[in-house]
Amino acid sequence: MKRFLTYIFIIIITTIVISSCSDLQTNIPQKSTDLKIHEEGIAAVGSPNFHGNLIKENNWSFDLCIQCHSSDFKGGITGTSCLTCHTNTGGPQACNTCHGDFNNPNLISPPRGINGDTLTTSKSVGAHINHLFGKSLTENIKCENCHNVPQTYNAEGHIDSDLPAELNFKGLAVSTVATNASYDHTTGSCSNTYCHGNFEFTKANANPDNQYIYAEDKIVGANKTVDWTLVDGTQVECGSCHGLPPKGHLGFGVLPISSCVVCHSSVVNKAGEIIDKTKHINGVVDLGI
Ligand code: HEC
Ligand code: HEC
Ligand code: HEC
Ligand code: HEC
Ligand code: HEC
Ligand code: HEC
């Protein structure tokens, strides 16, 4: 009953506002974004009037919704709470509401980009999964290596700019000499990242016991430019980011992969498989145990 009365109250107020602003006009067309009263489909996923679309049309701002549904999203004057469906901490502002998996609060990155894309051929999706889950080469990649991660939905630099999302390489992605790491949205390619072989280890800085391995002043990676949307495995083959062993390393190009274990036994086995994913692509030289 209370909700019904509130509803009637809103209709009356709305009518007064509309008629006072428009004098003799009686047949005002209602655009969905006016939201005086929601159109059919506000709660129906897939409907053009679905509420997610309204928020998108408002550049992902909740300001309009808050006016009636209140800033705690508990319903305010409408009596209709957002939290009955948005049950994760943060309600509709939870990190998996707009990207990631709506049903899994621990999966906040694409697949499922902002516009619902799920295919790896979309730049919104690309190789997110390959970098973040089930990796065979390393365990060291975090969102923060490629993006700023907002602490809250409202944080500066999050939704206050147009798509595409900004890349900002940090930490592992830029270690040693890779401060020129960059991403090109137009081509969808990443260049000069440490992880894909823009590394340099110098004889001068090496432990004297290890300097014998230097055939040149430096050991360098292959510095591969990689395609963010190509996930067929060709860009993660042994020998693609650095030679076997790398340039400047004794035996460049001629040591069999089965030999790496002789000196790098904390990282690889005889079959050339990575046995400790925390030690490969971690920014430092790793040898025996
Ligand atoms: C009846 C249940 C229900 C209520 C009530 C509800 N939502 Fe949602 N909302 C959903 C569902 C389900 C989705 C996810 C749809 C999907 O899978 O794409 C969603 C998605 C969203 C999205 C993401 C849209 C997108 O395209 O990514 C936002 C933002 C959102 N809701 C905000 C709100 C706000 C704000 C309220 C309260 C004013 C609210 N919701 C009330 C069920 C609800
Ligand atoms: C002018 C006031 C007003 C504004 C602004 C408003 N709403 Fe509502 N909303 C209501 C009222 C009143 C209801 C309850 C109507 C009903 O029972 O269908 C409602 C119902 C809903 C429902 C349906 C819940 C259900 O269980 O069926 C959703 C979802 C929703 N609003 C989302 C939003 C979103 C998202 C925004 C911001 C884009 C928004 N609303 C802005 C007044 C408003
Ligand atoms: C290896 C680098 C990398 C990592 C790690 C990474 N991202 Fe991304 N992310 C990208 C690239 C590249 C894009 C695509 C930019 C574009 O649209 O061209 C992107 C886009 C996005 C987008 C926008 C999607 C859209 O629809 O446009 C979101 C949201 C996002 N990432 C969230 C995350 C979160 C959350 C994590 C961690 C759980 C993460 N990313 C980890 C590189 C990365
Ligand atoms: C209401 C929808 C919505 C919610 C909720 C949301 N995001 Fe986003 N997020 C976006 C949009 C839109 C973009 C793309 C922004 C752009 O173009 O720069 C984005 C982009 C991102 C990116 C890519 C880097 C960037 O800022 O562009 C990351 C990382 C991210 N969000 C993390 C989060 C985290 C963490 C939370 C929870 C604290 C969160 N998001 C909650 C809509 C949302
Ligand atoms: C995505 C790029 C990439 C690929 C693919 C790659 N590596 Fe590496 N590898 C690196 C980087 C970067 C380093 C530099 C040292 C570090 O940060 O661990 C490295 C270092 C090494 C080392 C030296 C030990 C160490 O980690 O310090 C060995 C041995 C090695 N890689 C073997 C392999 C083998 C075997 C494969 C195939 C299973 C492989 N790598 C594929 C990027 C790659
Ligand atoms: C005879 C011992 C030996 C063998 C065999 C060997 N390495 Fe090394 N490697 C070293 C030493 C010692 C260093 C460390 C130099 C330093 O401290 O700067 C090194 C450095 C490296 C580096 C530079 C960056 C880093 O993290 O260590 C890479 C990459 C690498 N080795 C890869 C390989 C690969 C791949 C193989 C097998 C094809 C291999 N190595 C075989 C002794 C060896």
Would you give per-residue pLDDT tens digits along the chain (289 residues)? Answer: 344 334 444 444 444 344 333 333 334 344 434 445 799 999 999 999 999 999 999 999 999 999 999 999 999 999 999 999 999 999 999 999 999 999 999 999 999 999 999 999 999 999 999 999 978 899 999 999 999 999 999 999 999 988 999 999 999 999 989 999 999 999 999 999 999 999 999 999 999 999 999 999 999 999 999 999 999 999 999 999 999 999 999 999 899 999 999 999 999 999 999 999 999 999 999 999 7
> Does the C-beta of 149 come closer than 6 Å to ligand 6?
no
> Does the C-beta of 276 come closer than 6 Å to ligand 5?
no
Q: Hey, whose CA ends up nearest to atom 33 of ligand 3?
A: 109
Query: At 183, which amino acid appears?
Result: Y
- 159 vs 59: CA distance, rounded Å: 8
Instruction: Find, among 61, 191, 53, 185, the residue nearest to 124 by Cα.
Output: 185
Q: Hey, whose CA ends up nearest to atom 16 of ligand 1?
A: 45
Ligand with minimal distance to 8 CA: 2
Ligand with minimal distance to 119 CA: 3
Cβ neighbours for 99, distance < 8 A, ≥ 6 positions apart: 108, 109, 110, 112, 113, 114
Computed on alpha carbons and rounded to an integer, the radius of gyration of the chain in Å comes to 27
> Does the C-beta of 78 come closer than 6 Å to ligand 2?
yes
- 216 vs 202: CA distance, rounded Å: 9
Q: Which atom of ligand 4 is nearest to the CA of 158?
A: 26
Residue in this structure with the two tokens 């007064």, named with its chain if needed:
16
In this structure, the number of other CB atoms found within 10 A of the CB of residue 69 comes to 21
| pLDDT for 11 | 44
